[in-house]
């Protein structure tokens, strides 16, 4: 992601004025010996980064034209060759939410960009990008070519649909310059996406059971050098209506209200085209035929959730094939899918979402309003108190601020005290959770997790949870989470703080975490496995954690083999690796389908909420 490139736009302000002041009367000629020459100092003024609209993509007509010129169905056909036409059609996306999701706005409420290159060409003409007679690339009045760099990973499937996209744009007179980069760069914590180092950038957001979206699209989630690169709104898109809607959609417990807010958001998103949604992905995975216990499930993005159950009769080792190597195991800042898959071997998440239903894993229960683990209290707040207003923003309560009171009414605060809702949840870790060195996991480890997650020096990219937290009381073997008055997050019952070993890392400054090998390369485990070796570019080796509290592992060793996309099928069919996950396979190829039919491998194809898209850089450095 070339996040190392902290190119800031520097505006050079040069003030060079010469004042000639003559001694004597104003009418007298200047005496060279008495003339005072004053030259002001040349001052370099640093300009805020990413405030210059992109000279091409800054025009919404161009963005809309690119959408009309994109044949999403042909992109899908290029990578999902074994699906039926109906299945292929069902994967097309028009917004950030799949068309069969409860939060989808409905075709009638948004702009639909059906494949229409003629409409795209007309918009490009209108925007001043015309196609001269005999030319293949459009130019503007200055003779500049309509050329855009297209960056994505070097995974085979993205190169496959990427080549089709390049040709589609060429058919509309748009030159696309593809850059297929290593995932470790594209998804690195200080490179590529995290530093907004792209023009057109393609990748997939890993879908979850809930649409979410605030960190991706809100105006205050645009990463810049001045805010420490906080947020994941890599496009730099700020639409106030959409921003308020996405925040409100994530700050109400009433589903119908959420649907309305998501509808408003999607209408703005589709009109502005800060990103081109392409297609919903299926989750396709393949294993050796004799691997048992492998059970990828819709709704749960990480298929390693039950890795302790994996087994091959007569073998003490399972080899997983990764065509992309994690850049780091510090997943607070490393957002690559492969990093999270590897991380779950040593540190399982505290809850799962199998079949889009949340379940407790490392906590005794998910504290809901129904089971009494959470209360939604009426509290009195007065001027100056930190609250979340009716737009979902954290503000200091003052006259003129619009809030939602405890009765659910939207009112303007005029002074005195007012009653608002406040969520309070209690999370308790399961008994027996232990670090690999035998040290019990305690609330101190959760407290360190909260500290690092909320420290800008750590490299964390989002502080929404931190900013909306009123207080956290760490006690016993868990914590009590008290949200700011006004927070009505529909996922209030999901554990919010990571678990880090306080006895090992408690004194390490947050600024050093990303580069500390104990964090990035050999994190201490509380999970079913522990990492014992990482040979960069070759393999990651894990062995059973003797202090794992849960279901005993059935296979003593797990090896993640770093392979190439070109070799992955041959290695699986040859028995050199035992698994290929959804990070490696987009859809079952004819070769894999034939091998599965012959019983040589087992193939899994599940629906997924993960989706491919192309982000558009709306501003340049």
> Quick one: pLDDT at residue 147?
98
Q: What's the gap between Cα 553 and its chain centre?
A: 31
Averaged pLDDT, 292-310: 94
Backbone phi, then psi, for 210, in 5-degree steps? -125, 145
Q: Which residue has the higher pLDDT, 218 or 17?
A: 218
Percent of the chain with pLDDT over 70: 92
pLDDT confidence bin for 18, thresholds 50/70/90? very low
- Both tokens of 621, joined, read 């450095």
Residue 4 resides in a domain? no
Residue 406 resides in a domain? yes
Same domain? 346 vs 382: no
DSSP-derived letter for residue 90 is T
Q: How far apart are CA 567 and CA 582, in angstroms?
A: 16
Q: Could you count the other beta carbons within 10 Å of the beta carbon of residue 416?
A: 8
> Quick one: pLDDT at residue 254?
85
CATH number at residue 538: 3.40.190.10
Same domain? 327 vs 406: no
pLDDT (tens digit per residue) in 56-111: 999 999 999 999 999 999 999 999 988 889 889 989 999 999 888 889 999 999 99
Q: What is the dihedral of CA 352, 482, 332, 442, to 10 degrees?
A: -80
pLDDT (tens digit per residue) in 469-515: 999 999 989 999 999 999 999 999 999 999 999 999 999 999 999 99
Averaged pLDDT, 527-535: 98
Residue 510 resides in a domain? yes
> Quick one: pLDDT at residue 413?
97
The angle, 0 to 180 degrees and rounded to 10, between the axes of the packed helices 240-249 and 255-272 is: 150
Residue 163 resides in a domain? yes
Unique residue bearing structure tokens 């302790």: 308
Same domain? 478 vs 568: no
Given a cut of 80, whether residue 517 has pLDDT beyond it is yes
> Quick one: pLDDT at residue 104?
93
**Would strands 36-39 and 18-21 be described as parallel, antiparallel, or unpaired?**
antiparallel
Same domain? 154 vs 247: yes
Structural domain boundaries enclosing 83: 53-280+613-620
> Quick one: pLDDT at residue 321?
98
Q: Could you count the other beta carbons within 10 Å of the beta carbon of residue 116?
A: 15
Instruction: Considering only the C-alpha atoms of the chain, give the largest distance between any 2 of them, rounded to a whole number of Å.
Output: 107
Same domain? 253 vs 327: no
Residues 6+ apart with CB under 8 A from 108: none
Same domain? 103 vs 183: yes
Domain-terminating residue out of 458, 475, 502? 502
Contact criterion met (CB below 8 Å) for 97 and 105: yes
Q: How far apart are CA 283 and CA 327, in angstroms?
A: 23
Residue 292 resides in a domain? yes
Residue 218 resides in a domain? yes
> Quick one: pLDDT at residue 47?
52
Q: Could you count the other beta carbons within 10 Å of the beta carbon of residue 311?
A: 16
Q: How far apart are CA 249 and CA 466, in angstroms?
A: 19
CATH number at residue 474: 3.90.76
Averaged pLDDT, 507-532: 97
Q: pLDDT averaged over the chain?
A: 89
> Quick one: pLDDT at residue 198?
97
**Would strands 351-352 and 175-181 be described as parallel, antiparallel, or unpaired?**
unpaired
> Quick one: pLDDT at residue 30?
31
- The DSSP H or E segment spanning 438 is none
Q: Which residue has the higher pLDDT, 252 or 447?
A: 447
**Would strands 147-153 and 200-205 be described as parallel, antiparallel, or unpaired?**
parallel
pLDDT (tens digit per residue) in 361-412: 999 999 999 999 999 999 999 999 999 999 889 999 999 999 999 999 999 9
pLDDT confidence bin for 336, thresholds 50/70/90? confident
> CA of 516: how far to CAs of 194, 293, 329, 410, 564, in Å?
20, 35, 11, 48, 28
Q: How far apart are CA 401 and CA 418, in angstroms?
A: 12
pLDDT confidence bin for 42, thresholds 50/70/90? very low
Given a cut of 80, whether residue 445 has pLDDT beyond it is yes
Same domain? 376 vs 475: yes
Counting the structural domains of the chain, the total is 4
Nearest to 115, CA basis, from 282, 276, 281, 235: 276
Residue 311 resides in a domain? yes
Q: How far apart are CA 474 and CA 441, in angstroms?
A: 13
Contact criterion met (CB below 8 Å) for 615 and 198: yes
Averaged pLDDT, 212-232: 91
Same domain? 235 vs 300: no
Same domain? 378 vs 342: no
Domain-terminating residue out of 502, 522, 541? 502
Residue 5 resides in a domain? no
CATH number at residue 68: 3.10.105.10
pLDDT (tens digit per residue) in 425-443: 999 999 999 999 999 999 9
Same domain? 203 vs 76: yes
Same domain? 185 vs 213: yes
Same domain? 159 vs 209: yes
Given a cut of 90, whether residue 1 has pLDDT beyond it is no
Burial status of residue 90 (CB atoms within 10 A of its CB: 0-12, 13-18, 19 or more):
middle
């Amino acid at each position: 992601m070339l996040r190392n490139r902290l190119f800031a736009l520097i505006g050079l302000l040069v003030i060079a004025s010469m004042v000639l002041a003559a001694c004597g009367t104003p009418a007298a000629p200047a005496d060279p010996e008495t003339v005072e020459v004053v030259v002001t100092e040349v001052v370099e003024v640093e300009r805020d980064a990413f405030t210059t609209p992109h000279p091409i993509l800054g025009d919404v007509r161009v963005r809309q034209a690119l959408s009309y010129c994109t044949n999403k169905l042909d992109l899908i056909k290029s990578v999902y060759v074994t699906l039926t036409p109906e299945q292929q059609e069902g994967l097309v996306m028009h917004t950030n939410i799949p068309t069969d999701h409860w939060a989808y706005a409905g075709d009638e409420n948004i702009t639909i960009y059906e494949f229409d290159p003629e409409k795209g060409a007309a918009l490009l003409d209108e925007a001043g990008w015309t196609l001269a007679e005999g030319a293949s690339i459009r130019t503007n009045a200055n003779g500049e070519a309509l050329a855009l760099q297209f960056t994505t990973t070097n995974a085979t499937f993205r190169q496959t649909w990427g080549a089709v996209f390049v040709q589609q744009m060429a058919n509309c007179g748009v030159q696309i310059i593809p850059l297929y980069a290593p995932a470790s760069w594209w998804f690195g914590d200080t490179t590529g996406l995290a530093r907004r180092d792209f023009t057109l950038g393609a990748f997939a957001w890993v879908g979850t059971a809930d649409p979410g979206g605030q960190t991706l699209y809100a105006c205050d989630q645009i990463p810049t050098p001045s805010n420490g690169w906080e947020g994941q709104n890599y496009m730099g898109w700020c639409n106030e209506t959409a921003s308020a809607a996405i925040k409100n959609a994530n700050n109400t417990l009433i589903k119908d209200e959420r649907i309305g807010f998501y509808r408003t958001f999607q209408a703005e998103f589709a009109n502005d085209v800060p990103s081109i949604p392409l297609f919903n992905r299926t989750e396709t995975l393949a294993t050796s035929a004799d691997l048992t216990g492998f059970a990828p499930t819709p709704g749960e993005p990480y298929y390693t959730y039950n890795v302790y159950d994996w087994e091959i009769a007569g073998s003490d080792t399972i080899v997983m094939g990764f065509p992309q190597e994690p850049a780091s195991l510090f997943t607070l800042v490393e957002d690559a899918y492969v990093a999270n898959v590897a991380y779950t071997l040593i540190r399982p998440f505290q809850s799962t979402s199998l079949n889009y239903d949340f379940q407790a894993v490392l906590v005794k229960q998910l504290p809901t309003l129904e089971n009494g683990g959470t209360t939604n209290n009426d509290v009195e707040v007065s001027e100056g108190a930190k609250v979340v207003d009716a737009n979902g923003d954290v503000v200091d309560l003052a006259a003129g601020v619009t809030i939602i009171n405890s009765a659910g009414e939207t009112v303007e605060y005029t002074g005195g005290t007012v009653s608002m809702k406040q969520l309070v949840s209690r999370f308790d870790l399961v008994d027996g959770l232990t670090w690999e060195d035998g040290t019990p996991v305690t609330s101190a480890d959760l407290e360190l997790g909260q500290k690092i997650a909320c420290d800008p020096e750590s490299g964390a990219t989002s502080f929404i949870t931190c900013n909306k937290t009123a207080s956290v009381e760490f006690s016993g073997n868990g914590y009590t989470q008290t949200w700011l008055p006004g927070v009505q997050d529909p996922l209030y019952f999901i554990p919010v703080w990571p678990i880090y070993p306080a006895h090992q890392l408690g004194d390490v400054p947050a600024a050093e975490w990303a580069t500390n090998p104990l964090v990035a390369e050999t994190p201490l485990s509380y999970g079913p496995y522990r990492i014992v070796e990482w040979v960069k570019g070759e393999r990651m080796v894990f062995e059973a954690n003797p202090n794992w509290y849960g279901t005993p592992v059935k296979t003593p060793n797990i090896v993640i083999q770093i392979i190439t996309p070109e070799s992955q099928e041959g290695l699986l069919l040859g028995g050199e690796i035992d698994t290929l996950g959804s990070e490696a396979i987009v859809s079952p190829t004819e070769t894999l389908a034939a091998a599965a039919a012959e019983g040589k491998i087992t193939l899994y194809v599940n629906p997924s909420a993960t989706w491919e898209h192309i982000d558009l850089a709306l501003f340049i450095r």
